[in-house]
A and B are shown apart, each in its own frame.
Chain A
């Protein structure tokens, strides 16, 4: 589906009120849907992002290098973004996942050096640490779920990065988010739409909203 088709579908799902939902807002909702889906259904879009790491550097800020990556499943040596992996300094291989605390507990955690890092650890939402510090510049590949390239009303023929089968889901989740802006009972309907499209992951959110609605009915 193209961006224009997604916009039409989302608008249709909320009752076709184009005056109430301008196009820019619908596109925002579709982009919100892409991000929400990346976080609650992480298997639908996996990316492999090569990241250069300079020698002696152990902390890496991913805001510029991998801004669409929402979490990391694997870190490997070399460039694995293409059909065949390209070794880095003659090596490919997996780095083992660890934690910052576990790395800090090693007695030689900053004194030790190696030609290649052996472990990696997440550091907050968008930094990672590789250990031990490598004595040479390398390339690593971060593999993990990502959100799609943001859609834009100015490019109506562009399609989301996801497989075609997920395009209606993006539109329906976007419609659910749009419906929530009306407040009150429409929030419940919006969340039901998100749950129907994205599956039972949205059930706790729906449960929380239903409890509030029930309390309000009792008070009224």
Chain B
């Protein structure tokens, strides 16, 4: 895995802008991180994450840089996804229900938040279970937490010394997409042909996966 700085050097090389005169280093870094966000929103990067369940608390935030939830597990059982409408049909005052959680919803919640219904009546263990382990083979309290299969942006730290948290071949797609994005920007150094060429190569590689 290369560092963000090394990836930016390769992007600068493709752009023929090693001295950062055409576009500033900060601008290139921003574009690279934006492309990574864009790939994350396409649900390409999975992650298993642990969220502590608290008695009486119904709403939780997915830690890290999640863009969506695929599945939630509580007490070794999957919670079923339900829309707000379905929950209201089952019980009009579903927010007041307190039993073992059975459903989860992201409807009408803030981004990155989800709600479990009913809300848990026991607080789970505070000992974190690091991914990709869990959600099985744990103590009783350990099982009473939420284990989320989520889609995320894997890059939690963005300074240039940090390694890009994707395999080399995904880095290459990201590199080409960043070159395409920057060379397509309006301005004196715009090169639509280069932008189109690198974008087409990146798309070709992603389709081939």
Contact = CB atoms under 8 A, between A and B. Distances in A.
A127 B44 CA distance: 10
B167 interface: yes
A21 B58 CA distance: 59
Contacts of B55: none
A188 B193 contact: yes
Interface string B6-18: 0000100111100
Q: Place the interface of chain A in its size category.
A: 35 or more
Q: Which applies to chain A's interface (DSSP): helix, strand, loop or mixed? A: helix
B197 A190 contact: yes
B197 A205 contact: yes
Interface string B161-190: 000011111101001000000010000000
B4 interface: no
B197 A181 contact: no
Nearest to B171: A35
A29 B13 CA distance: 11
Given A104-B78, A187-B194, A124 B167 contact: no
Contacts of B167: 62-63, 67-68, 125-126
Contact of B14 (A111, A124, A180): A180
B88 interface: no
A211 to B, nearest CB: 8
A78 interface: no
Interface in A40-67: 40, 42, 54-57, 59-63, 67
Nearest to B209: A71
7 contacts: A35-B168, A42-B208, A71-B208, A125-B170, A181-B13, A205-B200, A216-B192
**Across chains A and B, which 7 residue pairs bring their CB atoms closest together, nearest first?**
A205-B200, A39-B208, A124-B46, A56-B136, A187-B197, A127-B46, A56-B137
